[in-house]
Each structure stands twice: as C-alpha cells, then as structure tokens.
Amino acid sequence: MKWIQKLERKFGRYSIQDLMLYIVILNAVVFVTTFLVPQSNLYGKFALIPSRVLHGEIWRLVTFLFLPSTTSPIQILFTLYLYYIVGSNLEHQWGSFRFNLYYLIGVLSTIATAFICDSLVTSEHLNLSLFLAFAYLFPNFEVLLFFILPIKVRYIGWAYWAFLAFSILYYPLPWKLSAAASIVNYLVFFGPDLIRSLKLRRITYKNRKRFRDASRKNRW
C-alpha cells in the first residue's frame, strides 16, 4: 500500500526492531514478579484504567501491554512462545516498520475502546490479532500446541475468529468493542486484498454460472 510506503520512508528510522521480543520479555518479567512478590500489585499499577490515566498516570497507556493474560505458568509459557513466533515472523515478512505500524494501530484502537467505554481493557485481543495476520500470510505454518501437538496456524486463526464472534455476541460492551477494535489493524492491512478477493470470486461465480447456463441451452 502506497500510504504505508510513504510513512515508512518518512518514519522508518524510528521503528523498534524485535518489538515482540521486548513485549514477550516484559510480560515474562511482570508474570514472575507477580508470582514471587504478589504484594507488588503490578496489575493494579500497570492496567489501562482511563480514570487513572486522566489523573496523570499516563504510563498506563504503555504498561498495559506488559500484563500477561493468564496466571498459569504452563499457559504463559505457551502463550509467550506463540506471541514470539508469530510476531518475529511477521516482522521478518514485513520489516520492522510495518510490523510496528500494525501493532500500533491495534494499540490505539484498544486505548480508544477503553476511553469510549470508560472501562478497563486488556491487551489480550490486541495480541491475538497478530494471529489473524499470521494466519492470512502463512496459513500452513505449523506450531507446537502446548509444545507437543503440531497444528497449522490457519486453525488458530479460525479459532480466534470464533472467539471474536462469541465476544461480540455475548460479552459486556467493553469486551464487544475491544474485540471489534482488535481487528481494525487487520482490516487496514488486509481489507483491500479481501475486497479484491471477494470481487474476483463474484466474477468467477458469474462466469461459471453463465457457462453452465450456456451449456444447458446448447444441449436443448
């Protein structure tokens, strides 16, 4: 996309290389600290709470990205492993700037959701949105589910689409908006391709239908 190329030429030097590695490390640090020192209350200090941000705690606009989505040691290992695999491969495919931009759009959408709803919003949907991009680009890439079972990324993508639909249908409003906001970056990056694909399928369907109709007439 030309507008991304223009932004990259202008701001590319400011991109953060290995962004997902830093996010994974900081998630791990917060998890270990919380596990060993529960009284640290990092979740309370780092969470994205709009009212606290408006009272001057602006670090929360960034630190909420470092809060793990689970308290299970086994699950956090698997989750951070997936985040790193997906994030590093997307960065390798796109380059640091485009990956930063994709993630930044998701961050801004999540923050906007928090302030619109005046409610605490986590980065869970934001991080999971990486799988949508990865599944689109590398549908046959295999990861080890719980480090044991190989599974293609396309199935993780489908599972996340199902999770999004469930969140939008049945969860409270903040979760609905958070789920919807998490695909803004996906639509910005892949929306034009999806529209072209739908148009091509429509044309293909019409051509096939026209051919079948012509074949039936010729028979008679």
Q: What is the pLDDT of residue 214?
A: 62
Q: What are phi and psi of 141, to 5 degrees?
A: -65, 135
- Reported as a pLDDT band with limits 50, 70 and 90, residue 167 is confident
The length of the chain is 220
Give the dihedral of Cα atoms 99, 105, 110, 113; nearest 10 deg: -170
Taking the domains of the chain in order of start, what are their residue ranges?
A: 2-194
* H/E element, 185: helix 184-219
Asked if the 2-194 domain carries CATH number 3.40.50.720, the reply is no
pLDDT digits (tens, 9 = 90+) for 100-155: 999 999 999 989 988 988 888 888 888 888 888 988 888 888 877 766 777 788 88
pLDDT band of residue 157 (cuts 50, 70, 90) is confident
pLDDT at 220 over 60: no
Cα(44)–Cα(35) distance, rounded to whole angstroms?
14
Distance CA 144, CA 146 (A): 6
Q: Which amino acid makes up residue 217?
A: K
